[in-house]
Structure 1
Amino acid sequence: MNNNKKQGVLLVNLGTPDEPTAPAVKRFLSQFLHDKRVVDTSRWLWCPILHGIILPIRSPKVAKLYQSVWMDEGSPLMVYSQRQAAKLADKLDIPVALGMSYGNPSILSALQSLMEQGVQEVVVLPLYPQYSSTTTAAVSDALTLAFKQMAEIPAYRFIRDYHDHPLYIKALAESVRRSWQEKGQADYLICSYHGIPKRYADNGDIYPLHCQRTTQLLQQELGLRDDQIGMTYQSRFGREEWLQPYTDKTIEALPSKGIKSLDIMTPAFAADCLETLEEISEEVQHLFKQNGGEQFTFIPCLNDDDLHIEMMVDLLKQN
C-alpha cells in the first residue's frame, strides 16, 4: 500500500438482526439465506420454501433465542464487533469502520464512512479466521456490489484468512489456559467450528483444511495428547450431509466413553453470538449433562480480548 495515501480499515462480520423480534429476524434471515454463497439451491426451488415455510416458522423461534442472549447494548455479535473496531482504531490511530455482510451497518455504509474521513486505501479484514466460500467469499461479493454503487472506490487489500497466524493461535491458547486456571482442566477439549454442507468441501471449499490446521496448531501450543482434544462441526441446517463429526452427536456420546468433564470453544467465531452463547453454551451443555456428563465449561470467543486485538493489529500492519 502507498503510505502517502490516507489508510483505513474495514472490519466485516456476518451480521445480526437489528432487534430480537420476529420481524427483524425475518428481515435478517431473508437477506442471509438469499445469498447463493450460503444456499446454492435453484432459486425456483429455494425461494418458495424459504418464504413459504422457513421464514414464517423459524423467525419467531429464532427471535426468542436472540432474546435469551441479547445484551443491554444490543446483539452480542454487534457489541463485541463494535468494541473490536474501537480498540483497533485506538491502537492503529487510523479510521476503522465496521460493516456486515447482512443487515446493518452495511458494507456500503462502512465504506462511505471511511471515504468521508478522507481514506483513499482500505484494508478489508473479514472476521473469519478460516476461509470459506460461504463467508469470506461472500464478503468479497458484497464488497463488489458496494463498489458498483460508488462513484469513486478506494484502493484496497483483502485479508483472506488468518487460521494459522501465530498470534491467533497464541490468543486461543491463552483463553484456554485462563479457563483452566479459573475452573480446572477438563478431561477433553472440543473445538467446535461452524459447519458447511459436505458438498461444498467436495467441490473445493478449503474450509475444513483450515479448521484442521487451526486445531492442530492449538493442540501443539497447549501440549495436548490426541486423546485430550478433538474438533467438530455445529449449526447444521436442512437434510443434506454437512461436515462431520457433528458437535451435538459427538457430545451425546462422550460421557459413555468416560469423558465426564468437557471444555468447549468455538475458534471459527471472532465474536460471541447466537451460535456460541445459545447453541453451544446452553443447548450443547444440556445434551452433555443429559447423557451423563458432569462438568461443562464453555470458553468464550476471543471477542475484544487484548491478545485478539494485538493479533489484528499485527495482521493489519502486515497489509
Structure 2
Amino acid sequence: MAKTGVVLMNMGGPDSLEAIQPFLYNLFSDHDIIRIPRLIQKPVAYLISKIRAEKTKEYYIHMGGKSPQKEQTLKQAEELQKVLGDDYVVTVAMRYWHPFTEEAVETLIKNNVQQIILLPLYPHYSKTTTGSSFKEFYRVYNKKGLKIPVKEIKSYHNHPLFIQAWVEKIKAQLGEEYRDYFLLFSAHSLPEKIIKEGDPYKSQIEESVRLIMEHFPENKYALAYQSKVSPVKWLQPFTDEKIVELAEKGIKKLAVIPISFVSEHSETLYELDIAYKKLANDKGITYYKRIETLKNSPVYITLLKELVSLGGNFEGRVLQT
C-alpha cells in the first residue's frame, strides 16, 4: 500500500536543563535567524549560547526543568495520525533539538512512503521559521539522495479553521464576560530588516488578527511583539511596553493571545505567564488572562487534516468550509 509521509515541523525546545546550551547553540548557528558573518557565526553562537543559557535556565526551572513543546508536538502528531489513518505516516521534525529533521526523514524511509507533505506548525510564513525548516529538510533529503515527490504547505494563517480555533479558545477561556476584556495579541518579533526584504510574516499576523476580531466586534484590541534576541531593530510595539501603556490608559481586564504559537514554551509559560503577568499586576491591571495555545484542540487537528488532504495546495487562500 502506497503511503504518504507527513512531516510536522516545529522549532523544538530543550528537554532538560543540560540541553539548554546546545539548543541555543543550534538556534544561533542558523543564519536564517541570526545574521552573523558566516566565518565567525559558530564561534559567536557558542559564546552567546553559553551566556544566555545561564540566564534562561531560570525560565526552565519555573517550567519544570524543560520545554513541553516536544511532548505537545508529538501529541499533535499522534492525534493527526488517528484522523488520517493508515495510509499516512505522521512524523515530527524539530529544527533545533530532538527529534531532528534527519530522524524524521529516516522514519519516512523506513516506512517506504511514496510522497511527502511538509506541514509546518508555524501558521505564518517566515524565512526564519518555515523557510529555515524547509531548507534543513532539503539538506537532509539531498544528502540521502532521495527522489520522493515533496509538497509544501507554506502558511495557513487565514484558513477559516485556524480562525475558528482561536475564536473558540478565547471565548472558552474568558467565558461569558469575554466582551469586557481588552484583547492583546502577542506574536514573536522579527528583525525589521527581514520584513523589509519581503518576508510576509508581519502582514500575515495582521490578517489573522483582523479575521479573529471580526468575531469580537465589541472588544478593543492591539497587536504587539515579544522575544527580541539581538540588538538590531525588531518589530514593535513590544508586548511588555504595550502592557504598560494599556495599564496607564486604565485597562483593568487584559487577555493576551499568543497568536503565532501553537504549543507552549518559554515565550508563553515564562515570558507571558510569569514576567508579563507580574508587570501587568504591578501596573494596576486587575485581571490578566493568557489564552492557551491551540495545541491539540479538535478544530486545530481538523485543520491539519484538511491541509494534508489538500496535498500541499493551500498557500494562504481563504477556503470555504
- With the shorter chain as reference, the TM-score category is over 0.9
1:20 to 17, 22, 35: 17
Residue 176 in structure 1 maps to residue 173 in structure 2: no
Other-structure match for 2:7: 10
Alignment of 1:158-307 (within 5 A): 158-181=152-175, 184-225=178-219, 228-307=220-299
Per-residue deviation, 1:270 = 1.3
Per-residue deviation, 1:223 = 2.8
Count how many residue pairs are aligned between Structure 1 and Structure 2: 309
Per-residue deviation, 1:202 = 1.2
Kindly provide the CA deviation profile for residues 161-181 of structure 1, in whole angstroms up to 9, marking residues without a partner as x. Answer: 000000000000000010121
Distance 1:75 1:237, change over 3 A: closer
Give the letter for the 2:270 counterpart: E
Per-residue deviation, 1:144 = 1.2
Per-residue deviation, 1:230 = 1.1
Could you tell me how far apart the structure 2 residues matched to 1:153 and 1:59 are?
40
Give the letter for the 2:223 counterpart: M
2:131 to 128, 131, 137: 137
Any conservation in 2 of the 1:9–1:96 contact (CA below 8 Å)?
yes
TM-score normalised according to structure 1 size: 0.92
Other-structure match for 1:119: 113
C-alpha root-mean-square deviation of aligned residues, in Å? 1.7
Per-residue deviation, 1:186 = 4.1
TM-score normalised according to structure 2 size: 0.91
Distance 1:224 1:211, change over 3 A: farther
Per-residue deviation, 1:37 = 0.4
Kindly provide the CA deviation profile for residues 139-188 of structure 1, in whole angstroms up to 9, marking residues without a partner as x. Answer: 11101111122133421111000000000000000000101217755430
Distance 1:42 1:186, change over 3 A: farther
Any conservation in 2 of the 1:88–1:309 contact (CA below 8 Å)?
yes
Could you tell me how far apart the structure 2 residues matched to 1:153 and 1:175 are?
41
Could you tell me how far apart the structure 1 residues matched to 2:81 and 2:125 are?
25
Other-structure match for 1:57: 51
- Give the secondary structure class of the aligned counterpart of 2:117: strand
Q: Which runs of 5+ in 2 are unaligned?
A: 312-321
Kindly provide the CA deviation profile for residues 266-288 of structure 1, in whole angstroms up to 9, marking residues without a partner as x. Answer: 11111111111111111111111
Could you tell me how far apart the structure 2 residues matched to 1:254 and 1:190 are?
10
Kindly provide the CA deviation profile for residues 30-80 of structure 1, in whole angstroms up to 9, marking residues without a partner as x. Answer: 11111110011213455454333x222211221231222138xx6311111
Q: Which runs of 5+ in 1 are unaligned?
A: none
Any conservation in 1 of the 2:7–2:93 contact (CA below 8 Å)?
yes
Any conservation in 1 of the 2:3–2:89 contact (CA below 8 Å)?
no
Give the letter for the 1:100 counterpart: M
Other-structure match for 1:33: 28
Give the letter for the 2:27 counterpart: F
- Give the secondary structure class of the aligned counterpart of 1:173: helix
Could you tell me how far apart the structure 1 residues matched to 2:91 and 2:39 are?
36
Any conservation in 1 of the 2:171–2:178 contact (CA below 8 Å)?
no
Could you tell me how far apart the structure 2 residues matched to 1:172 and 1:13 are?
19
Per-residue deviation, 1:264 = 0.6
